[in-house]
Structure 1
Amino acid sequence: MQKSDVNSVLARTSYRVKRQLKKIRQRIAPEPASPPAFTAQAGRAGTDVPDPVQFQAVAMGSGAFGEWILDDANLPAYRYTMNQFTDDKAQYPVSTGAFRRDHWHQIGNDRITALASNDGVIQVLVGEQGFMYLNHFSHGSLVSSLGVVWAIIMIILRTPSRFVRRFILGSSEPGFWEQIREALSAPGADRRDDLQHAYAGGYGYIQLGDAIWPTAYRYQPEAIRATSERIFGMGYYQTICEHKGIQVTRTVYAPGGDVSALLADVDLTNLTDQPQTISYYEYWDINIQQLTLQLLRTGEFGAAGDAKRRRLNREFTPCINWDEEAKALRFHFHPPEDAVSSAIPSQVNYQPLDVFLADLSGVPDGKYTDKARFFGQGGAQKPDAIGQWDDMDVERISHTIMPYCMVLRREVTIPAGQTRRLRFAYGTVESSDFLTCDEYAIFGVAEAQMPEEWMTQYQLTFHRENNSYDPRDALNDYWRNKLAYFSVIDEPQLQREMAWHAYYLLSSTLYNQFFDTRIVPQGSAYLYLHGLDGAPRDFALYVLALAYMDPALARDVLCFVMQMTTGFSGQIAYAYTGNGQLSGALIHTHPSDLDLFFLMGLSEYVNATGDLDFLNEQVPFYAARNQPRNQRVLNHVLLAYHHLMHIVGIGDNDLIRVRDGDWSDDVVIRNIFPFNMRVSPRNTVQHGESVTNSQMAMYVLPRIATLLTNHPDDEIHDIGTRMQAEVNEALQRLARGIKNIWQGDHYARAILRTWDNSNYILSKDHTDLEAQVWALIADIDPDTTDTLKDTIYRQLDEPSNIGATLRNGSIWPAVAQLLTWGYTRHYPELAWQSFLKQTMANRAMVYPNHWSNIWSGPDGVNGSKMADPGGTYQSPPATPMMDFPVMNNNQHAMALLAMLRVCGIEAHPSGTGIQIAPQVPERYKLDLPLIQLDVTPKHIRGLYRAHNSGQTTLHIRLAAANATVQVKVNENISTMTPDGDGFIKLELPLFNPGDIIAFSVTDLPG
């Protein structure tokens, strides 16, 4: 929202009225969506497939906000060209009933994540001991009194249903009076606090004579905006602006790997014919916001929650110091005396990392840390200190929340036509016990110097004058080695998009110190607003793609899920928050599906990587619970299996129980009393059954059993044999139960329970996509498959231009892309069409005026018959996805998974390796970190790149093969006959990390 609209009741009211009118029009006469922007065919025979590693410049799918380009490294990037302050297409609805205009891009590595905005500001988040912003942006936005009144009215109206949820289901969500207090505590005009000057930073200021201007688009005059450029790239954000003959190119980037900092390269170019002397000011803010768990974030609750998180900072003592040797400002947030150890799970991070800003290109000529004095009355547009003080003392500032900023000044003389290059680093360093923030400390003197390893990495390796190492070049190489390269004929946008999905998925990684592992979060509003991340079902789905993209990271994610498991009961927790705390998010204390997802993810990982030793490695259970002596991965597998089969269990109708939810968090809560007067909450939780779980089990259970049965370790083999016998019996029961729930053209969703404990069939009369996709994937009943496919396609898939819809008309990749996978079993043309419909390129063509879904997106997208088609949802008073409609990894991981499945790649049912069985497209080239393929109907050639020690088998089927084929593994050539299903079995030799095994299967003329 423009700053002038922030506190305007008139602007908010006007926008609400317009939005309500638009909703009414959409319901009465929905606007037709643009047709899909793709061809259903998968290329022409006889045409060469382009090299997947050499990107083609394709603007398709750019939307209204800019254009897709290739950057200087020939990697995909998005050039953002819209002036969001003058173009109303930039507006998007938010839960306060108003609108915003800021759009952002993710830059990150294995340690840090940053949000780079079209405004030119950058916010940085770390996750070591809980999610925490280092420099949260806030310009003092307020909540209108009318909004608070509306929030209170909605609390009162929803109280009866929440009363039932609280006392019948045992929910622990905030009570009536607590919600009222939260609404009333939303910051108002008379309580602006000291939020002024919290501009986040990540940009600079230039002083040339009396002229002063910022590099941040948000604060520039229109004349400078007209010459500005903004580029969202892989691992970086670049801005270029020009004024008075000085061009400033800023590139802020996250070095690849385990680096807890951003680097900012600043190139100052003199475009005039005379030397120019300027002062350059590098600005980053300090505004700590710990994302403590807040379940109510919609509308005014979000503003109240931000204020509450801000008040938490009063428990700490802030101070800042200057380290002369390191050329760095260092901020320390000293914990209270009664702070708990970081080894104890807590909502609060009581040992936050120190924050630094360092000059990596010379000696600063000035430094500024008092944000009130630095910005003064001039604010972000023209700070008072610039041109007034060459330097400032680094002093303690008491009795103010977050009083510090970090600004380093460099005076630079630039000859005509030349460029001077600066570099800065902003990030975190381990907190030092020697930093106490003692008010009697000597001002400006560092109480503790930077660690020696920090000096080596930053002031030597990353220094701008180190000619032997360029971190920008290293960053480009880092991402080139991690991307998904995919190329087919006639769909050049796929090459860019699959690489971009890989970048977004991998760059979201965070390190969690409590669990001592890397984590790939789901993200979006869950993490960045609620301060909560989950669920393990999503993490397991990411593993299905990560196993081929980054096997070591896939392994870390599986280990994290295991550490979310209580050793006492075997229950995998729904989510995590704070420093090592687990959460059920009120309504999901006992989810019934998480074991299935974990077992599926583990099976895919072991099959893909051949990491057979993984099952014998030690991974602890949740640290706050009783620890079983046997902490082998195998024991985690057996406990998950036992929990599924004997604690969740199979119900009276031969279906796996639903408990308080399965894949759908609210499948129970939204279908019981008082929303459905006939259905008993308690009986449903105790005795209800899930069709979705049962169908998924038909796919997962045989694979985990065969994985163990075919393991070379005798003990594991014997365990698998015993498990197989129990699984076979369970599969018979489940097949019977699933057949009985068939409704003639679709499967019902679940069996809930009435007050007298009789069955209530959910979705008996309508098709719920959640209960159909696993039936296709598991290929459960050949007799009903064609009918089921026709129903899905006719009712849910064909009417939507951007993917098959759920019951409410929205598209969720975590389900719709499973349909893509399901189609591959018997309907490969439909699978290819489903895959293309759900690309971001297609969504950008159908809904070009929605910024989300162009370079990232949410977990659910509104369909054409919903309000705000192409946008996303809110679930008042809890989740306002519309307030953070990007950076949800379901968008990225599920697209990569769908790509693998349409390419015919998945874990083989035997549990011995990878199945490669292309259908449509029949010609493609795929290059992933684990495997490279060149596919035609007559041959498949490739490389297997080992990331660990182990052994695996490739089960390959050509699309068009005769009686015999030639097989080559490295230099060994043989002739083989495909089995009854057309597969050739290639047993790869034992391998070690770094080994590359070449293979091919070629049809021999009959």
Structure 2
Amino acid sequence: MTYGHVDQETGEYVIDRPDTPTPWINYLGEGVYGGIVSNTGGGYSFYKDPKNQRVTRYRYNAVPDDQPGRYVYLQDRESGEYWSPTWQPVKDELADYECRHGPGYTTIESVYDDIAAEMTYFVPLGEDCELWVLDIENEGEETRTLGAFSYVEFSFPDAAADQMNLDWTGQIMRSRVDEDAGVIEAYSSAEEISYTHATSAEVAGFDTQRREFVGQYGTLEEPAVLDAGAATDSTATHDNVIGSFEHDIELDPGERERIVFLTAPERDDDLIEKYEDPSVVDEELDALQAEWDEYLSTLQVETPDEEMNTMLNVWNPVQCRSTLYWSRTASRYQAGLGRGMGTRDSSQDTLSIVHAVPEQVRETLESLWEIQFPDGHAWHQFYPLSGEGDAGLAKEDPSKPQWFSDDHLFLVLGTVQYLKETGDDDFLEAEIPFEDGSTGTVREHIERAIAFTDEHRGKHGLPRMGYADWNDSLNPDDGSGEAASVMVAMMYCRVLREVADLYEFLGDEDLAAERRTQRAEEIGRIDDHAWDGAWYTRAYDDDGDVIGSASEDYQQISLNTQTWAVLGGVDDERAERAMESAHERLNTKYGFALLDPPWEGEGTIDRIGGTTTYPPGAKENGGIFCHAHTWSVVAAGLLGDGERAHQYYRQLNPMTHEDEAELRRTEPYVYVQNVLGPAHEDFGVAKNSWLTGTASWAYVGATQYLLGIRPTFDGLVIDPTIPAEWDGFEMTREFRGATYEITVENPEGVESGVESVEVDGEVIVGDVVPAFEDGTSHEVRVEMG
């Protein structure tokens, strides 16, 4: 069963029935003021920091689901009947319904009793506010008299206190109303806030006290104000503050009226007056769409795979932008209460987006380097409002190491990718503080990161695990000095190769050679102590015993060390055999399980950690962790296996599972973090959409390793690995300000290999297209063979 489709002309995802298996959401805003909105108007907003500057409230795991949100009720004044044009919260059967999620905006259209309503939600570019644009039209043959009632529920700025310290927050939130100006403010005796809900229309009434609007023991589905047919003009002196305006509307047949509601983190009368003009609202929406079109235009593809085209041209880069803005902090699955912007997460998020917004990526990297300690490791996360960092999940068990073994390494990889994409070598000499206030150049930060891994080693000299590596729930390190991560050893090999290439490009041959020697020594340790005969082991525990070996009862094989053996360039022959083992043991219809067999039974949590708290087949315990699956696309691309690179990509692509919406439940236009694995009774159910590292690596895997066009220090390398039956593909890509129109032809039906490359009609030597001046456009013709 399907619930919608992609509009191929606009790129919007069109939902044509409101009762989706889970709320299907969209993100509003571009990293400052923003929030989420669902296909029925549910969701919430925040300003700069979802934890410390929450603007509107949301109730997780609530019944009914996906409330509150950005609502308008419409009421027939003669009959008293009322409904929600967004379906929620009243849930009356609408004669027509359509939600159109687009980049940065959502429009919900419906018809009820001959009244057509359209609600468009968006955050204007550069503004700290959101607009709800309500257009109402009388499609009947008689004049209609209607009432319109808005509803938004304000949060205390500290989102955790708003949920948990109800005595305090319930006493200090208040409201004031400027009825003539059409402005409601929520303010506090403890915080300098003036959260605002404003309207462009003449006010017939208002409410700011939730209890009065809903009624004692009432619900949003049947609020007391709508039952009575009139607002109460309530003012909140404490407790739950809302913003609700009542408006009188009279429409002749065919007549249309617009009301614009504005919600903002502070009162700004100039801003309110600006958006009372309907033409200005339309101009701002056009400007927003034009800005998104410009962003998306930086990389466009045309391949024989239509679902791939849809994802790469619209929804994958839309999702990548959201993850760069908000990391993993605030979604339908993360409440934004305790999780900051992840160091590892944000570092990886930059990989997919640096070609489109290099300045923003540089700012992100600078912020991340500032939470690195002088010894080279980094805080696991930071909070954008304060800039402060902390150890993340490790705080829950202070007896374990309070650092993660991969954070600083992913930060190096993100920085090197930025340098390849932009050619901004000056960034290496930028002075950036360490966590303690001392300073160093970016190059010094990189060297400290390398030194930390080199100086913290466990069993067999492999890098020590710390609290965890990429797998947050693999926690065998209790401090004996034995626990080690094979995955981090492989990551370290990739980091050393990338940094050696950088130094060689900069002309520092001695340091490049030193890093290559370190890398060769690390590969030797991996070959000597991590090869299990047909695949690589995963780690060593605190007693020095192996994890991820055929000799074990559980987790005999793990995905990550098979893919990273290829990504790290550890041993070509063994890595290819390891990937074959992973394909045989771990691959499923929906992607690779993270390990097999899953852990079960008692007595394992002390040895392994959080993985064993999940039932078999869930999350890290044998679930399909989609972020990890993306590395199989990269690995297959590096191995030149086009059939499998494409197979692995399609297994992951949510568009290919669009007709399984009842099973998967999540949005078919964005990636998820995980899917329940084959050992679980609900195999195939997807979880945790939108804010996941899957998005960035899926984009990187598809564009840079399957289609094979990726940045180097010298230019764009053309190295496609595609299915043999493809006759080619096209890509338009911006690189260092120039535009490359790339046509790849595959006349011999090969999976990899390049026979010739022409740039502007001239054959070049090799497969690296040089960088050109900003603003220029170039034709690149590639023949595979």
Q: 1:77 aligns with which of 5, 9, 13?
A: 13
Alpha-carbon distance in structure 2 between the residues aligned to 1:632 and 1:455: 44
Q: CA deviation at 1:913?
A: 4.2
Q: 1:638 aligns with which of 435, 447, 450?
A: 447
Alpha-carbon distance in structure 1 between the residues aligned to 2:144 and 2:449: 68
Change (3 A) 1:311 1:491: farther
Gapped regions of structure 2 (runs ≥ 5):
599-621
Which amino acid counterpart does residue 549 of structure 2 have in structure 1? S
Equivalent position of 1:47 in the other structure: none
Alpha-carbon distance in structure 2 between the residues aligned to 1:327 and 1:472: 22
Alpha-carbon distance in structure 1 between the residues aligned to 2:413 and 2:33: 29
**Percent identity for Structure 1 against Structure 2:** 17
Kept after mapping to 1: 8 A contact 2:623/2:676:
yes
Q: Write out per-residue CA displacement over residues 810-857 of structure 1, whole angstroms, 9 at most, x where no aligned residue.
A: 222221111110111222221121111110022334564322252345
Kept after mapping to 2: 8 A contact 1:547/1:554:
yes
SS in structure 1 opposite 2:402? coil
Change (3 A) 1:606 1:141: closer
Q: 1:961 aligns with which of 723, 742, 755?
A: 755
Q: Write out per-residue CA displacement over residues 763-796 of structure 1, whole angstroms, 9 at most, x where no aligned residue.
A: 3543211111111123322332432232122222
Q: Write out per-residue CA displacement over residues 563-588 of structure 1, whole angstroms, 9 at most, x where no aligned residue.
A: 22234x33211123585352331356
Equivalent position of 1:584 in the other structure: 392
Residues 1-400 of structure 1 correspond to what in structure 2 (within 5 A)?
A: 64=1, 66-70=3-7, 74-81=10-17, 83=19, 90=21, 102-128=23-49, 130-138=51-59, 199-215=68-84, 216-220=86-90, 222=92, 224-256=93-125, 258-288=126-156, 290-292=158-160, 307-311=163-167, 313-314=169-170, 317-323=172-178, 327-335=182-190, 351=191, 353-359=193-199, 361-376=200-215, 379-386=219-226, 393=233, 395-398=235-238
Q: 1:500 aligns with which of 315, 340, 349?
A: 315
Q: Does 1:682 align with 2:479?
A: yes
Q: Does 1:811 align with 2:624?
A: yes
Q: CA deviation at 1:608?
A: 0.6
Change (3 A) 1:383 1:463: same
Name which structure has the greater RCO, CA cutoff 8 Å, separation 6+. 1
Residues 650-689 of structure 1 correspond to what in structure 2 (within 5 A)?
A: 650-651=457-458, 653-669=460-476, 681-683=478-480, 686-689=481-484
Q: CA deviation at 1:690?
A: 1.7
SS in structure 2 opposite 1:836? helix
Q: CA deviation at 1:920?
A: 1.2
Q: Does 1:983 align with 2:771?
A: no
Q: CA deviation at 1:861?
A: 1.2
- TM, length-normalised to structure 2: 0.84
Which amino acid counterpart does residue 791 of structure 1 have in structure 2? S
Kept after mapping to 2: 8 A contact 1:110/1:259:
no
Change (3 A) 1:307 1:467: closer
Q: 1:775 aligns with which of 548, 558, 565?
A: 565
Q: Write out per-residue CA displacement over residues 407-452 of structure 1, whole angstroms, 9 at most, x where no aligned residue.
A: 12222222221211121111212xxxxxxxxxxxxxxxxxxxx4xx
Q: Does 1:409 align with 2:246?
A: yes
Q: CA deviation at 1:868?
A: 1.3
Alpha-carbon distance in structure 1 between the residues aligned to 2:332 and 2:278: 41
Change (3 A) 1:521 1:760: closer
Residues 331-730 of structure 1 correspond to what in structure 2 (within 5 A)?
A: 331-335=186-190, 351=191, 353-359=193-199, 361-376=200-215, 379-386=219-226, 393=233, 395-398=235-238, 401-402=239-240, 404-429=241-266, 450=267, 454-460=268-274, 462-466=275-279, 470-483=283-296, 486-498=300-312, 499-508=314-323, 510=325, 519-521=326-328, 523-524=330-331, 527-528=334-335, 531-567=338-374, 569-576=375-382, 579=386, 580-585=388-393, 586-587=396-397, 589-622=402-435, 626-628=436-438, 630-646=439-455, 648=456, 650-651=457-458, 653-669=460-476, 681-683=478-480, 686-711=481-506, 720-730=508-518
SS in structure 1 opposite 2:347? helix
Q: CA deviation at 1:237?
A: 2.9
Which amino acid counterpart does residue 204 of structure 1 have in structure 2? Y
Which amino acid counterpart does residue 205 of structure 2 have in structure 1? G
SS in structure 1 opposite 2:633? helix
Kept after mapping to 2: 8 A contact 1:698/1:778:
yes
Alpha-carbon distance in structure 1 between the residues aligned to 2:332 and 2:483: 30
Kept after mapping to 2: 8 A contact 1:107/1:113:
yes
Q: CA deviation at 1:523?
A: 4.8
Kept after mapping to 2: 8 A contact 1:133/1:290:
yes
> Which has the higher mean CA deviation after the structures are superposed, 695-704 or 382-391?
382-391
Which amino acid counterpart does residue 372 of structure 1 have in structure 2? R
Equivalent position of 1:918 in the other structure: 720
Q: CA deviation at 1:254?
A: 2.7
The alignment's C-alpha RMSD in Å is 3.5
Q: Write out per-residue CA displacement over residues 470-522 of structure 1, whole angstroms, 9 at most, x where no aligned residue.
A: 22222222222222754444321222222112112324554xxxxxxxx5446
- Larger % of strand: which? 2
Alpha-carbon distance in structure 2 between the residues aligned to 1:604 and 1:820: 18
Residues 902-913 of structure 1 correspond to what in structure 2 (within 5 A)?
A: 902-908=706-712, 911-913=713-715
SS in structure 2 opposite 1:555? helix
Equivalent position of 2:693 in the other structure: 890
Alpha-carbon distance in structure 1 between the residues aligned to 2:423 and 2:693: 26
Alpha-carbon distance in structure 1 between the residues aligned to 2:516 and 2:192: 51
Change (3 A) 1:975 1:70: closer
Q: CA deviation at 1:279?
A: 2.4
Q: CA deviation at 1:356?
A: 0.9
Kept after mapping to 2: 8 A contact 1:482/1:929:
no
Q: CA deviation at 1:611?
A: 1.7
Q: 1:745 aligns with which of 506, 510, 534?
A: 534
Change (3 A) 1:867 1:289: farther
Q: Write out per-residue CA displacement over residues 235-282 of structure 1, whole angstroms, 9 at most, x where no aligned residue.
A: 2333333333322211222334x3332211111101122333322222
Q: CA deviation at 1:374?
A: 2.6
Q: CA deviation at 1:114?
A: 2.8
Which amino acid counterpart does residue 414 of structure 1 have in structure 2? L
Which amino acid counterpart does residue 563 of structure 2 have in structure 1? V
Alpha-carbon distance in structure 2 between the residues aligned to 1:667 and 1:920: 35
Kept after mapping to 1: 8 A contact 2:136/2:257:
yes
- TM, length-normalised to structure 1: 0.67
Alpha-carbon distance in structure 1 between the residues aligned to 2:34 and 2:658: 25
SS in structure 2 opposite 1:860? strand
Q: Does 1:763 align with 2:537?
A: no
Alpha-carbon distance in structure 2 between the residues aligned to 1:260 and 1:507: 17
Change (3 A) 1:668 1:722: farther
Alpha-carbon distance in structure 2 between the residues aligned to 1:846 and 1:201: 29
Q: Write out per-residue CA displacement over residues 334-384 of structure 1, whole angstroms, 9 at most, x where no aligned residue.
A: 32xxxxxxxxxxxxxxx564311122x344333321222233266424443
Q: CA deviation at 1:69?
A: 3.4
Alpha-carbon distance in structure 1 between the residues aligned to 2:655 and 2:343: 29
Change (3 A) 1:69 1:594: closer
Q: Does 1:860 align with 2:674?
A: yes
Gapped regions of structure 1 (runs ≥ 5):
1-63, 85-89, 91-100, 143-194, 293-304, 336-350, 430-449, 511-518, 673-680, 712-716, 873-881, 940-956, 990-994
Kept after mapping to 2: 8 A contact 1:550/1:929:
no
Q: CA deviation at 1:559?
A: 2.0
Q: 1:795 aligns with which of 577, 585, 589?
A: 585
